[in-house]
Amino acid sequence: MFTKPVFERFDFVLGFFPEYDSPECLVMLQFNIPDSLIPYNINFKIPNISKSIFELDNDGSLIEKKLNTKEVLSLEIKQNQYYCQFYVKINKTGSSRKFHYNLNSDRNIEKYYILIQQPLGVKSFNSFLKDAEVFNDEYNLKYHRKEFLGYYANDIFQIDFQYEKESNLTSIQILDQILTDKTHGDNNSTGFKHENELSVNEQFHNKFQQSKYLSFIFGIPLILIIILIYKNNNNED
């Protein structure tokens, strides 16, 4: 007899931030779990090149999470909102960058979101996301985002994107240069510029300087995703 799969309803976002604050790709997982499902247990197969896993604790600090089994990320989520991250290598040949990742979990997921941040300084960018929503944050960093329905346990969902980028600077480093130039009245001393113009003043630049190694790196993506989930939930009501 065919048994209809059970899909438990919660929000799940899988985000990718290539060359964001390191030469690798920052991979983040974020959950919004209802009280009725807590504690929630889920396992993911992850690349064995991941050096460390970090999760956000209740105080907003990142703490290292040890992997009990190689290439397996086992999560026991005990709060409504949960966030963790790790880094995965990007395949580089000259200026060409290619990234491949398999979403592979042991739980059915009713719906989920894939988010890719486009690195600064790219000449071209292409991803597997077709008809994706494209938007910018307050620093004009560009995001590609799409909702998917019906992930079945132990399936392999392939995620691919590629881009051309001559510089080895991270997005954080490039943005720092852009904001520094604009604050001091030089709009192009570094040769980098945004696809969309930034309105920069001293206060805006200081905000970036104070937060780029703390809340900017981890807080902006996290806050951004939470806002998107909140908006989607409101639209469904």
Most confidently predicted of 59-73, 140-154, 171-185: 140-154
Class of domain 11-167: mainly beta
* pLDDT value at 193 more than 90: no
**Could you give the CA distance from residue 64 to residue 222 in angstroms, rounded to a whole number?**
17
| 59 or 9, higher pLDDT | 9
pLDDT grade for 196, boundaries at 50, 70 and 90 = very low
* pLDDT value at 233 more than 70: no
* pLDDT value at 108 more than 50: yes
**Could you give the CA distance from residue 37 to residue 35 in angstroms, rounded to a whole number?**
5
Cis check: omega of the bond before 47, within 30 degrees of 0:
no
| 191 or 44, higher pLDDT | 44
| 112 or 205, higher pLDDT | 112
pLDDT per residue as tens digits for the range 4-52: 888 989 999 999 999 998 999 999 999 989 999 999 999 999 998 776 7
Three-state SS at 114: strand
Q: How far is CA 61 from CA 74, 82, 214, 215, in A?
A: 20, 12, 10, 10
- Contact predicate 33/9, CB 8 Å: no
DSSP 8-state secondary structure symbol assigned to residue 183: H
* pLDDT value at 223 more than 70: no
**Could you give the CA distance from residue 229 to residue 77 in angstroms, rounded to a whole number?**
18
Average pLDDT (140-152) is 92
- Contact predicate 17/101, CB 8 Å: no
Share of the chain above pLDDT 70, in %: 74
What pTM, to 2 d.p., does this model score?
0.81
| 217 or 106, higher pLDDT | 106
Three-state SS at 1: coil
